[in-house]
Structure 1
């Protein structure tokens, strides 16, 4: 007959035990009870010797506590090095057959991180009331909004005469992304650089949208609502597409990303200054930072390199990304207009494939939508983190037009 490990019994209630707690072989229920109990209280009941466990229930708390103390439970024997995650524990020699070797404690392989060290989830590492940003610095972007409004109202100074709106937008985009002869590397990203890239992206998106003939026919207030939502997503795909192009040309390595029209950063030699927007340190805000090396960014760049979209395809992706989210965000009249615009642009893409005699383009379209969906997924996760940041009052700035930056990470 095979001899297995001997069954351990809780010395307090007589039920199955699972390990050594406070110096005594006991079950988890009795260990948890002793942890919560007030040891200094009166431990005697009127009967003095109650049956502690009966019909699956515990009855007299005082007799149970008295039994815990009698069998040797001691708060000073609390095991601080016990595993906080796994329910499996190493058995003591009292629960092993005589002569059996003492089992080794299992290594749980808990990753070394600030969250595991402090025993707090990453999203509350920054919960320090004395650093909470209750007084906000206001950043006025009225001038930038007015500039964009003038662009949407009057149109771009340069006009293109393509076959349809999709081709006109592709021609404008080709002008915007024209490769610069010498790329500049960014070493530090602070307030000045951040505001410059925001201004560049916001006005470029406005100018690009003016070449969307059907979009230009919308009321100005609807166009501004779409722009305020679209520019961040447009900028994200634009920069990732530029990164894919430069990597394809071997302009820089795998750790570099385009951050502007002619500027890139290398994660191996790069610092971000966030002192202008928060009282917390960078280490405390890793959970919230919009890093350029997360899994989505790397995956999207690889997909773009593999797909190598034409300007027409890339502009379709940009339009779909922007209109889909603007309609979902605002609903109502905006959703009605964005659905109509998207139908027209889809017809433009179909005509393009027909003219290029690409009959089976479903696989390319599926890859394009996969990239857009990854960008949307990343956006939704950033929005969740942004809500947590609001709860803990982490960001110390407020914008004159907050609807422009609701999805920017700030």
Structure 2
């Protein structure tokens, strides 16, 4: 077998969902699946649904019919047989049950402890910060007012960057080699750093969340300066981005902290949390009260 000698020799292809055999969208609960099969598996586990085989054989072929025509019993059986695991399925968040059918149990068979529903206090968002939307809700456990932050909006922003081949400064960097392009992007991101950042002692969670939002966009932009990365199929770019962005963010913050503060960052335990804000470990607190009933100490551990 001939081994590719460069990235240009590699052929990329879409991986099919192992359940329905359609285009896959990444690893879900242990195996490569599409979003529909991942949602079906999660819904089945969370709602504790029990199915009966439509042909009473337990051997229906999954992958040849439309999604709604698939035997749910055999589809779920195939999920389990191929190694999908229930360990990472969260049962503490709401799940939309949009598959009523004759072979499904009535709603009364689902334990109320299986699903937690957030009660909206208003049908309209109470605030918009950039593309992020915050909703006022009732905490399902404490019944106290709380905040629901829609993270899909910031993922959409990063996804839009990852789905385009357009770079605003394409002409100015066309003469650079691949490594120089990545360095150029990194320098542009770092140029936004305030070299005299403000130290904070108390910060609201939504403020810290907004910092992550900026860092997520920076990561996506940096990755798209790699020609090899841009040649990957869209779903692979997004999958890689989800894996690396948090690690990239940490290393970048550590690097800039050392660059600005030098040995002080070690002696005084300083960390830059954003382009504008820094804090000392053990000398700041994050207020999570609007999004969780768990205090800072528990999150800090």
TM range (shorter): 0.3 to 0.5
**Structure ranking higher on relative contact order (CA contacts 8 Å, 6+ apart):** 1
Structure holding more strand per residue = 2
Structure holding more helix per residue = 1
**TM-score, normalising length: structure 1:** 0.34
